[in-house]
């Protein structure tokens, strides 16, 4: 039986990563370890995470006609997703991100968008058929907002679940939120979106409720090792996380979203889908790099089993 499809609209970058004892302050130079180059970009990370977790994924993106674009395509293809709607842009280079990762696992990132900034509503229209047939549309904010809005409107009108990870955080129009089935944000993103300082469970609930009032149908706030807070108009629920030793948290949110999309396409209830996503994200922070950190489905299943949680259906 053919699996329901996941469409990811978003960015593709090459990450250039340096591990440092601590993140540099403004104007400061710190010594780091060897430079690590890895495939990244929030859209590509989410697509890879979903594919490795067992999803049937179509990726809509733009990369440059350069070596970085060639390598990005090669890496994405190796995970078996549909790349028919990844355009090669002759007018902009492929995106790149410069990342410092502290020994504590904290990171600081600067992104040169390149071709990502040219992903347009026209690219969405070209993929109209595949979006209309999707079970889940998954997006982030490393590509133009108008493109995300066009994709969300189309998918929502066809009855798909629209998952928006508002990262990097920016001001969002209520028009977009009204097309969002599930808004997934970490604490800093929720704070930027709402102006509410997230300094405890009560503040997290208040921020989530504010986003619900603005139009999102469900809000999930990811809280690191503490887990994830699910908020709907019926109430809130904390789904516990998994305690692991963090090495690099760069793609934890992307892995969470990709795994969440997979679990939901397979018919899981939201609580169980979030637990699956928590397990995937926990595994990802134990490894360096963005896409290299995304776990395979079997690894997620084993972690859940070790903690006595319900496994995923095959």
Angle at Cα 19 formed by Cα 13 and Cα 22, nearest 5°?
A: 120
CB 107 within 8 Å of CB 249: yes
Q: At 313, list the tokens.
A: 């259906």
Q: Alpha-carbon distance 182 to 192, whole Å?
A: 18
Tell which residue, 172, 130, 173, 180, has the closest CA to residue 152: 180
Q: How far apart (Å, rounded) are the C-alpha atoms in residues 29 and 77?
A: 38
254 has catalytic annotation: yes
Radius of gyration over alpha carbons of the chain, in Å? 18
DSSP state at residue 48: H
- Distance CA(283)–CA(182), nearest Å, equals 23
Only one residue has tokens 């060639």, namely 70
Do 5 and 134 touch, CB atoms closer than 8 A? yes
Contact 210, 220 (CB under 8 A): no
Rounded Cα distance between 275 and 39, Å, is 26
- Helical H runs in the chain? 42-52, 67-78, 121-126, 128-132, 145-157, 174-177, 187-194, 201-213, 252-265, 270-284, 297-306
Q: Tell whether omega for the bond before 168 is within 30 degrees of 0, i.e. cis.
A: yes
In three-state secondary structure terms, 249 is coil
| Catalytic residue (one of 15, 66, 123, 254) | 254
Catalytic residue positions?
A: 254
């Amino acid at each position: 039986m053919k699996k329901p499809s996941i469409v990811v609209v978003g960015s593709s970058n090459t990450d250039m990563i340096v591990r440092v004892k601590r993140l540099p302050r403004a104007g400061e130079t710190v010594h780091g370890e060897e430079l690590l180059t890895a495939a990244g970009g929030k859209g590509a990370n989410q697509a890879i995470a979903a594919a490795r977790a067992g999803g049937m994924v179509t990726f809509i993106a733009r990369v440059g006609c350069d070596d970085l674009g060639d390598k990005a395509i090669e890496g994405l293809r190796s995970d078996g997703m549909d790349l028919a709607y990844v355009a090669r842009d002759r007018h902009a280079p492929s995106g790149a991100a410069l990342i410092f990762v502290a020994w504590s696992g904290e990171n600081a990132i600067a992104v040169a968008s390149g071709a990502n900034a040219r992903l347009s509503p026209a690219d969405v229209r070209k993929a109209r058929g595949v979006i209309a047939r999707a079970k889940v549309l998954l997006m982030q904010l490393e590509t133009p907002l108008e493109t995300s809005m066009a994709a969300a409107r189309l998918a929502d009108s066809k009855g798909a679940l629209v998952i928006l990870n508002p990262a990097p955080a920016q001001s969002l129009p209520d028009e977009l939120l009204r097309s969002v089935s599930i808004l997934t944000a970490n604490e800093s993103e929720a704070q930027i979106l709402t102006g509410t300082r997230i300094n405890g469970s009560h503040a997290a609930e208040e921020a989530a409720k504010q986003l619900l009032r603005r139009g999102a149908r469900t809000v999930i706030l990811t809280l690191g090792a503490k887990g994830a807070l699910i908020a709907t108009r019926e109430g809130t629920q904390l789904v516990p996380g998994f305690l692991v030793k963090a090495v690099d948290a760069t793609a934890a949110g992307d892995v969470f979203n990709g795994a969440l999309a997979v679990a939901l396409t397979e018919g899981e209830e939201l609580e169980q889908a979030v637990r699956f996503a928590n397990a995937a994200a926990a595994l990802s922070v134990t490894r360096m790099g963005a896409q290299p950190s995304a776990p395979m489905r079997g690894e997620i299943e084993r972690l859940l089993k070790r903690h006595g949680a319900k496994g995923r259906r095959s």
